[in-house]
Amino acid sequence: MTSTTLEITGMTCEACARHVEQVLLGVRGVQAASVSYRERTARVTGHAMTSDALASAVGGAGYVATPRDGAGTGMKDAGPGPSAGAGPSTPIDAREGLSPLRVAVVGSGGGAMAAALKAAEHGATVTLIERGLIGGTCVNVGCVPSKILIRAAHIAHLRRDSPFDAGLSASPVSVDRPRLLAQQQGRVEELRRAKYEGILAGIPAITAVRGEARFTDGHTLAVTLTEGGERLVPFDRCLIATGASASVPPIQGLANTPYWTSTEALASDTVPSRLAVIGSSVVAAELAQAFARLGSDVTILARSTLFLREDPAIGEAMTEAFRAEGMTVLPHTQVSAVSFTDGEFTVVTSHGLVHADRLLVATGRTPNTRGLDLDACGVRLDAHGAIVVDDHLRTSAPHIYAAGDCTPLPQFVYVAAAAGTRAAINMAGGDAALDLTTMPAVVFTDPQVATVGLSEAAAHRLSIETDTRTLPLDAVPRALVNFDTRGFIKVVAEAGTGRLLGVQAVAPEAGEIIQTAALAIRAHMTVHELADQLFPYLTMVEGLKLAAQTFTKDVSQLSCCAG
């Protein structure tokens, strides 16, 4: 009979200590195990035990075990595994002496689904818990319905007004919003069934539970079921992917009015005659322009300027574009009070009163972390209520991960999905980090706004000296033949080396440009190497080559498609 003492890290309560005890007792050769939460130790006795086997078992449960005397091999989480780009590691259910890893996923949006699918692929049994509609924000009330509305509004705009009206007669547009809404929601439901509900139903390793989850300790969720009653869900690893909800500012009187958030705006079957929008970033800009093009008289109330966090040229260009379409943009406007009487909103601002039939509040989103009882499992929040994670998506409880809009990560569904996938790889013992260095972002206004990498100001904050060029769109052949030269392409390079650092674009197809820039940054290209690449003539992305060429040439003196 031999005995050993292990240092245990990752425990957050007495229940964790009991869980570690049970895990250790399941290891071949162990006769007795005693775990102290206060001392963060485990004393194990038995025959033919190895430190590796003990550490592996504890690691598989979400903790870290290290022999107190330094002998043996400790494991980091559940041991080495594949990188983010690698295929599946040895299935979890093949681990000698251990049952399949139990993974709980709270939420069912992009990050949650990606994690559930990857965890199941690695051999885990997954319980996915959703309190509302399967599919989360993006497919139900975010990306999908908003882009349908924006596209419909774009078509309406072109029928009414285009650069070719001299030769193609414009015509009045009759907007049947109830029919557009039916078309929109039909596609939403189709995608929810095909990409979420149908996929979940077809994977036996994933069980979907409908209800609201809260933590009772570090390894158990209590779910208040939608159909009534409660169910306990024990887990070895957990991913929190509960998303975010519209943030509503504390404006006097606002809470007592029937204001819209983006959810109500997208679900409305009417187009208001007058729409006031409080906000100045992505959602505010996209929906404001969409409703303006469908027939609303729109006023944007911006506390500072449009797109304050981006390069100032972006906000200036979009303000000009919106005003050219007849929208009212009021920058540096503070809203102090809101009232609603006889079907009309009255908004009190620092520049006077604004009257509207509908009021859209689009001032950001708040993480959905209340009600989870995160104190019970030791998960830490930041000052804004978001779950703090490292680049491996681990929370302050090492066996609990988080992804998506409930974290401080950028609120894009593709970021959430990438985070969910990497979290699941790490749950399985992998070592997958989320690298956002070349994260592209697109705003679906017209012209679009697209960015990747560092802006000039961001580079300077990192003490990087820059060399920049801004190419107006009237220097891009595609824009010229489209008779639409609104916008620019700005390239940020490192001074001296010419290394590409970032690109900011305002252009009708900026979203189709930006991924090329992202790949160029990822490849550590210089602007000179980018300028030397072959780009197809009369494409908008050719503007990226031209912008790179401006570092050494006057592109106005080049012939068409000059290499």
Verify whether residue 406 is a known catalytic residue: no
Token pair belonging to 477: 């052949």
Q: If residue 479 lies in a helix (H) or strand (E), which one and from where to where? A: helix 477-481
Question: Is 11 an annotated catalytic residue?
Answer: yes
Judged by phi (left if over 0) then psi (alpha if -120 to 50, else beta), residue 252 lies in: beta
* Ordered DSSP codes for 313-349: HHHHHHHHHHHHTT-EEE-S--EEEEEEETTEEEEEE
Among 16, 49, 113, 427, the active-site one is: 16
In the annotation, is 238 catalytic? no
Pairing mode, strands 41-46 and 2-9: antiparallel
User: How far from 189 is each of 53, 148, 265, CA to CA, in Å?
Assistant: 48, 13, 18
Helix or strand holding residue 5 (H, E): strand 2-9
HSE, side-chain direction, 13 A CA sphere, residue 289: 29
CA dist., res. 303 & res. 349, Å (int):
10
Residue 265 DSSP SS3: helix
* Beta-sheet strands, E only, within 97-219: 102-106, 125-130, 206-217
Identify whether 561 is a catalytic site residue.
yes
Determine which one of 75, 143, 238, 439 is catalytic.
143
Pairing of strands 466-472, 400-402: unpaired
Given the residues 13, 37, 414, 439, select the one marked as catalytic. 13
Q: Tell me whether residue 377 is one of the annotated catalytic residues.
A: no
Q: Please give the torsion angle defined by the CA atoms of residues 231, 125, 239 and 12, in that order, rounded to the nearest 10 degrees.
A: 70
Q: Cα(88)–Cα(82) distance, rounded to whole angstroms?
A: 7
The DSSP element (H or E) to which 517 belongs, if any, is: helix 510-522
Q: State which amino acid sits at residue 454.
A: L
Q: Which residues 6+ apart lie within 8 Å of 255 measured at CB?
A: 248
List 63, 196, 259, 401, catalytic entry = 63
Known catalytic residue at 13:
yes
Q: Would you call 531 helix, strand, or coil by DSSP?
A: helix
| Closest listed residue to residue 501, CA positions, set 311, 314, 371 | 311
Choosing from 49, 113, 138, 406, the catalytic residue is 138
The residue from 37, 238, 318, 561 that is catalytic is 561
Active-site residue among 11, 238, 406, 525?
11
Instruction: Please state at what angle helix 282-294 crosses helix 312-324, rounded to 10 degrees.
Output: 10
- Structure tokens, 357: 């039939």
The Cα–Cα gap between 486 and 506 comes to 8
Q: Is 540 a catalytic residue?
A: no
* Contacts with 209 (C-beta within 8 Å, 6 or more apart), sequence order: 127, 128, 129, 130, 223, 225, 231, 233
Catalytic positions, written as ranges: 11, 13, 16, 63, 138, 143, 560-561
